[in-house]
Chains A and B, each alone.
Chain A
Amino acid sequence: MQKTIQQINERIREGNARVVTAEEMPSIVAELGEEGALAEVDVVTTGTFGAMCSSGCFFNFGHADPPIRMERVWLNDVEAHAGLAAVDAYLGATQQSTTREENYGGAHVLEDLIAGRSVELRAISRGTDCYPRRTITTELLLESCNQAIMVNPRNGYQRYNAAVNSTDRVLHTYMGMLLPLCGNVTYSGAGVLNPLANDPHLRFIGSGVPCFLGGTQGMVIGEGTQSSPGGGFGTLMVTGDLKDMDTDYIRAATMTGYGVTLYVGLGIPIPVLDIETVRNTAVRDEDIWVDIIDYGVPTRARPSLGRVNYAMLRSGHVEIGGEDVRTSSLSSFRRARMVACELKEWVESGRLALCLPTRPIDPHKKAMPMRETVQGPRVLQIMERRVSTIGENEPIRDAAVKLLKGETNHLPVVDREGILVGIVTTYDISKAVVNPGKGKFVKDIMRRKVITTSPEEPVDIAVQKLEKYNISALPVVDGQKHVVGMLTAMDLGKLFGGRWLK
């Protein structure tokens, strides 16, 4: 049996369409079988509500008198991109306020406007013959904009890897607060209700297809930026009229220590035309797997500490290396369900008809990493290779002599095999002189917790370690923990010799 989109739209118009949410679909298929479900269900609605950084809005403010060509525009001190025509601008959700930093940003401006609050518009220009005005300040209301068109370049990730932190300090990330030593796992995504997870081959989701966006009817523009449906991580570009949106489904947020983001409610109705659609929309949380990625490793290819599905994540606990770890979602499943239910109501009541994509999205496409033509500096290029070390069983006095001779403040301490076991500084030696009670040997006064770097590590990462731990030197160690160099704040000066700064 097959159905056509025309048949389904006819039933929607007559108010007879059978619409279910993607959460209800698995049990319907289990009960009626695939053929039975195909005969029974006409439309499956999906929904998701979570942080979607790649969001924003195009504005046209109308012309002032005398007119101005806005070269730079701020809305409540949040700068919008004004490199467009005279009174057009695009406000990105994550752009932060020049005065309130991460506590207020583009997302908050959007929420304020939707809520009916006025926003201060400030713009400057150098003035031209046709646009003589140079500055303007005015109070802006959403209703007084000619257009406020939300265009989100990347929304509705098909699924998203969960996050964990193996280091010994707290991390503040776009995946929220990650406790040290794998103390928690955070995740995002609506799983069973996610639009793309219910149409992974992009048979019905593509350009021109209607969607629920921020509480109003929007439209799928096409593939989203960084979309990677071939690897199971598809994204969508969507648009809708900000003027019709609702703060129930558009919410500004701040990931503490990371920055501003926008929570967006997005849902897409999927017409059930054939058995394959039935199978795809019967997807369950248990079927959608993601990696638990260690955000403690600051490289693009962060290691995975395990694979889990959304049912496991949603249970509140997952296992990592035999340990039970608590999970937090960052998206709201309850609101995702509200999106799917509201969309269901729209279709049932005949308010929303469906259509097939006017231009399909390639389901096999995979996102590529950035092509980097200029390699950033690595630690080995600026580290000090002449490094003196001291044995842990040497007298403190010998350490003092070495520090003086090497004209350095940091002395790595090694064991008999030459493996790094600690570090002593001139400060530690001074303390030992003032307070001789602690012992006679280096091992008695050395610090055993040493923050290190490696020759291949990008200098940017090493610098972040220096800042984070408020230290001025890092021993450079190889894979066997042998000391091969030192990186001090002084070495960073080499970067300013012109070699790395173009």
Chain B
Amino acid sequence: MKLLVTFSRKEGKKPIIAQVVKDTGVLVNVERALIDSSEGEALIDIPDESCRVVKDRLAALGATVRILEEEILLDETECVECGACISICPQEVFTFDEEWRLQMDAKKCVLCGRCIEICPHRALSRRGGG
């Protein structure tokens, strides 16, 4: 399961993720992180059964947590199933089935945004329009 964690860094550089790993014992996989002087955003992957404990601990440390599910949207009326998205995705979200239909496993997505940028038919977007 993937969580999008955002936290403020105004009160100092607290090692939030490391703290959560230490406190909960859950192995957290950081898939993407963007941290500047005032705030940070990290996309982490954790085992489904540890969701609650990790989420609660992060919240207690002052982070905002959002569960990511199907964050990427495919507009089937625009998509022509060309497959341009397949090889540029770092997470292998897109594949063809035996009938050359485009399949999307949105759960693997880490929101890098590359497919949205390059889809020739502008058929991909982020949920919520972000």
Residues of chain A at the chain B interface (Cβ within 8 Å): 49-51, 172, 176-177, 179, 184-186, 251, 253-256, 261, 263, 316, 325-335, 337
Are B81 and A253 within 8 A (Cβ)? no
Q: Does B36 contact A (CB under 8 A)?
A: no
Selected from B85, B87, B100, B122, the residue in CB contact (under 8 A) with A254 is B122
Q: Does B33 contact A (CB under 8 A)?
A: no
Q: Does B99 contact A (CB under 8 A)?
A: yes
Selected from B81, B84, B95, B101, the residue in CB contact (under 8 A) with A176 is B84
The minimal Cβ–Cβ distance linking A163 to chain B, given in whole angstroms, is: 11
Selected from B87, B101, B118, the residue in CB contact (under 8 A) with A256 is B118
Secondary structure type dominating chain A contacts: strand
Given contacts A263-B80, A333-B100, A334-B81, contact A254 B120 (CB under 8 A): yes
Q: Does B107 contact A (CB under 8 A)?
A: no
Given contacts A251-B121, A255-B120, contact A335 B86 (CB under 8 A): no
Are A328 and B80 within 8 A (Cβ)? no
Secondary structure type dominating chain B contacts: loop
* Pairs A-B, 10 closest by C-beta atoms: A328-B87, A184-B87, A253-B120, A326-B87, A334-B100, A329-B83, A177-B118, A333-B100, A332-B82, A328-B86
What are 25 contact pairs spanning A and B, CB under 8 A?
A176-B84, A176-B120, A177-B114, A177-B118, A179-B87, A179-B88, A184-B87, A184-B88, A185-B87, A186-B84, A251-B121, A253-B121, A256-B120, A263-B82, A263-B120, A316-B96, A328-B85, A328-B86, A329-B82, A329-B84, A330-B84, A332-B80, A332-B81, A332-B82, A335-B80
Q: How far is the CA of A65 from the CA of B99 in the complex (A)?
A: 54
Selected from B83, B86, B99, B117, the residue in CB contact (under 8 A) with A332 is B83
Q: Which residues of B contact A51 (CB under 8 A)?
A: 120
Selected from B88, B96, B122, the residue in CB contact (under 8 A) with A177 is B88
Are B117 and A256 within 8 A (Cβ)? yes
Q: How far is the CA of A50 from the CA of B121 in the complex (A)?
A: 12
Q: Which residues of A contact B83 (CB under 8 A)?
A: 328-330, 332
Q: Which residues of B contact A253 (CB under 8 A)?
A: 120-121
Given contacts A184-B88, A185-B87, A328-B88, contact A50 B82 (CB under 8 A): yes
Are A326 and B80 within 8 A (Cβ)? no
Q: Digitize B1-43: 1 where CB-to-A-CB distance is under 8 Å, 0 elsewhere.
A: 0000000000000000000000000000000000000000000
Q: Digitize B44-65: 1 where CB-to-A-CB distance is under 8 Å, 0 elsewhere.
A: 0000000000000000000000
Q: How far is the CA of A49 from the CA of B80 in the complex (A)?
A: 9
Which of chain B's residues has its CB closest to A317's CB? B87
Q: Digitize B76-106: 1 where CB-to-A-CB distance is under 8 Å, 0 elsewhere.
A: 0000111111111000000110011100000
The minimal Cβ–Cβ distance linking B94 to chain A, given in whole angstroms, is: 9
Q: How far is the CA of A263 from the CA of B95 in the complex (A)?
A: 21
Q: How far is the CA of A60 from the CA of B96 in the complex (A)?
A: 42
Q: Which of B88, B117, B121 has the most CB of A within 10 A?
A: B88
Q: Which residues of A contact B88 (CB under 8 A)?
A: 176-177, 179, 184, 328
Q: How far is the CA of A359 from the CA of B99 in the complex (A)?
A: 38
Q: How far is the CA of A316 from the CA of B95 in the complex (A)?
A: 9
Selected from B81, B86, B96, B114, the residue in CB contact (under 8 A) with A326 is B86
Q: Which of A261, A329, A330, A331 has the most CB of B within 10 A?
A: A329
Q: How far is the CA of A179 from the CA of B99 in the complex (A)?
A: 27
The minimal Cβ–Cβ distance linking B103 to chain A, given in whole angstroms, is: 12
Q: Which residues of B contact A179 (CB under 8 A)?
A: 87-88
The minimal Cβ–Cβ distance linking A338 to chain B, given in whole angstroms, is: 10
